[in-house]
Each structure stands twice: as structure tokens, then as C-alpha cells.
Amino acid sequence: MQTGYSIIKKIFLEYLNKQLIQQKLYQMDAKTPQYFLEIIQNNSSVVEKYKAIFELRAFDNEQAIECSKIAFQSLKNQQPKSCLLMHEVAYALGQKDQKYANLIVDFLIEIINDVNEFDIVRHEAAEALANIDQKKALEIFNQYSQQETQNDPQFILRDTCSLAMMKLKTFDELKHLYGLKYYGTIEPAAPFEQMDCDPFDYILANDTIIFDKYRALYYIRNNYQQYFDRIDQLLFSNLGALIKHEICFIIGQVSQAPENIIESIKKFCQDQNVPPIARHEAIAAFQTINPKNTVEFLKQFIDDQDQIIRETAQVSLSQAEIYY
């Protein structure tokens, strides 16, 4: 979720990037991590809490990390629990600097081990752990990459841990390829620099391991002008829920697409058979790639039967109404 960054994350990171350059404004406004924690803990709307999570991410200090951890526990105890907000807290922690690893690692492992937690939240915690730890992570990734349980019916956690295990094993070799684009976002797999075959065929091949599928997917992102008119081939394939979520994520990152892809994303958003982890990311991505009639399209999801879909629509609508 990583939980999960598509359009909304992109917009907030543009906003927060400017704020990081102007850190003194926080002091002038007396807005501290505690200030944003209180927003998350009170009866604020989903949209206000979502914004507060990303405000917390902008602070580079231990207090912000502790407030983020408290925020997660607070969200966990709120009713109804918000899968969207909890997975965003895990995502934000995974984007923190390595120097804070000792404050974060055990917390993320606890989330991963919680069999009663949302599978999307456990996935985001595992992806976050792969970003910040090189030792403890391998053991837990090895454990879950080999498990198929009732708590992971779409293999979201299993596939995340398989992916993360390969990331850690190859990190020293490939670390120079991470975080080079899109505001320094740390990818779940290092993008290929070059490919001597068609990246779509490579991703769809049964013998391509998930780590390499992701590397090819981020190669497509980095060369979107050449490939994006075909990315719907991946959306409507037999690929798993996790990688389809990532496909939607990179569409949101790029924030532009040809008309045929816009139409494909609309169909994908409306398909009730699409797993929520992928569908919610598609709804978020739709906002960036189609400025026309965005608000009207998103309104159909605010009463969806799935909570993460409803809340994603609310957050997306709040941004669409501002920008469009």
C-alpha cells in the first residue's frame, strides 16, 4: 500500500514536498506531530485523517514516528476500522529513513503477524519492512512466502513476502536503482534499466518470478510514453491481485494515459469481481488520468459495499473537487 501510492499519494507528496522545503512554516503555525495525531484520534472525517497521516510523514523526527504508531493503534480501535487509513500509516512508516529502523521494525512485524488484521494492511506492513530492514525481515519474509492460509485467500501477503525477500537479497546489487523517480518513492522492486524482450510478454510469462515481474512493470512506468497504450493487457490478464494493484498504482503515479486506457480503468473500477486491493487503487488512479467528469464517475463508489472502496472514493472526491 506498500499501502498502499497512486493518485492521492502523488498529490499529497507534491504538496508535502513543498512543505519539506519550508519546514519553518510548521514552527510558525505551531503544528507538531501531536497536532496531526489528535486529528487522527478524534471524530474527523476519513479525508481529514488521511491528510493528517501524510502530514505526519513529512516530519523527519522520532516524535512523528511515535505519533504514527499511536495513530495506527487508535485507528485499530475505532469502529468501523478503516483498512485504508491503517494501510496508509504502514506505508508512511515504510518511507522513513533507515536511521529510524529501530523504532519501526518490531512494530511492523507485529502487524504482519496479526492474523486478524486486514490482508491489505499486513501486505503494506511487509512492503514497508522491506524498505527499512535488512536482517529481521528475511526470516519473517521466508516464513510467510511459503504459507497459504485462510487469512490470505488471494495470496496477497504471501506474494508480498516473496517479493520483499528477493528485494532484500538483491538490495546491495540493485540499491542504486531505487527511488530515482516520482519524488523519491521507494519501489518494491528495482526497475530494469533495459529489456531485450517485450515487457508485457515477460510479465505474463508463467516462469517469470514475481520480483522480476515487478522490475519489468517499473520499467514500463519509466518508459510509459512507449508502453502505456498497452497496459490494459495486464489489467485484464490472469495476473494476481497484488500485481494488478501495483499496475493501477503506477498508472496513478504517471498520472496520464491514452483514452483507451482511461476506458479500461473505468471498467476495472466498476467490476465487482476485482479484488478490493486492486479496485481501490484503480479508483484512486482514475482521478489523475481523467480530469473530465471525474467527480461524477467517483460518486458511484461512495456507497460501495466494500469499506476501502467507499473511503478511497471519498478521499479521491475531495481532491477531484479541489483540482477539477
For 200-226, write each residue's pLDDT tens digit: 999 999 999 999 999 999 999 999 999
pLDDT in tens, 243-286: 999 999 999 999 989 999 999 999 999 999 999 999 999 999 99
Which pLDDT score, from 0 to 100, does residue 293 have?
Answer: 78
Across residues 100-123, what is the average pLDDT?
Answer: 94
Which pLDDT score, from 0 to 100, does residue 313 have?
Answer: 95
Which pLDDT score, from 0 to 100, does residue 133 have?
Answer: 75
- Answer yes or no: are the C-beta atoms of 295 and 172 closer than 8 Å: no
Which pLDDT score, from 0 to 100, does residue 97 have?
Answer: 87
Residue 48, exposed/middle/buried by CB under 10 A (0-12, 13-18, 19+)? middle
pLDDT in tens, 63-109: 999 999 999 999 999 998 999 999 999 999 998 988 999 999 999 99
Which pLDDT score, from 0 to 100, does residue 64 have?
Answer: 93
Percent of the chain with pLDDT over 70: 88
Range in 10-19, 31-40, 154-163 the model is least confident about: 10-19
Confidence of residue 29 (pLDDT cuts 50, 70, 90): very low
**pTM for the model:** 0.86
Check the CA dihedral 119-120-124-125 and report its sign.
negative
Which pLDDT score, from 0 to 100, does residue 104 have?
Answer: 95
Which pLDDT score, from 0 to 100, does residue 150 have?
Answer: 61
Which pLDDT score, from 0 to 100, does residue 194 have?
Answer: 97
- Answer yes or no: are the C-beta atoms of 78 and 311 closer than 8 Å: no
Rg (alpha carbons) of the chain, rounded to whole number: 18
- Answer yes or no: are the C-beta atoms of 190 and 215 closer than 8 Å: yes
pLDDT at 42 over 80: yes
Which pLDDT score, from 0 to 100, does residue 7 have?
Answer: 44
pLDDT at 180 over 90: yes
Confidence of residue 20 (pLDDT cuts 50, 70, 90): very low
Which pLDDT score, from 0 to 100, does residue 148 have?
Answer: 67
Which pLDDT score, from 0 to 100, does residue 192 have?
Answer: 98
pLDDT at 114 over 90: yes
Q: How far is CA 118 from CA 152, 153, 234, 284, in A?
A: 9, 12, 25, 19
Confidence of residue 183 (pLDDT cuts 50, 70, 90): confident
Average pLDDT score over the chain: 87
Closest Cα to residue 53, out of 62, 61, 38? 38
Across residues 135-143, what is the average pLDDT?
Answer: 88
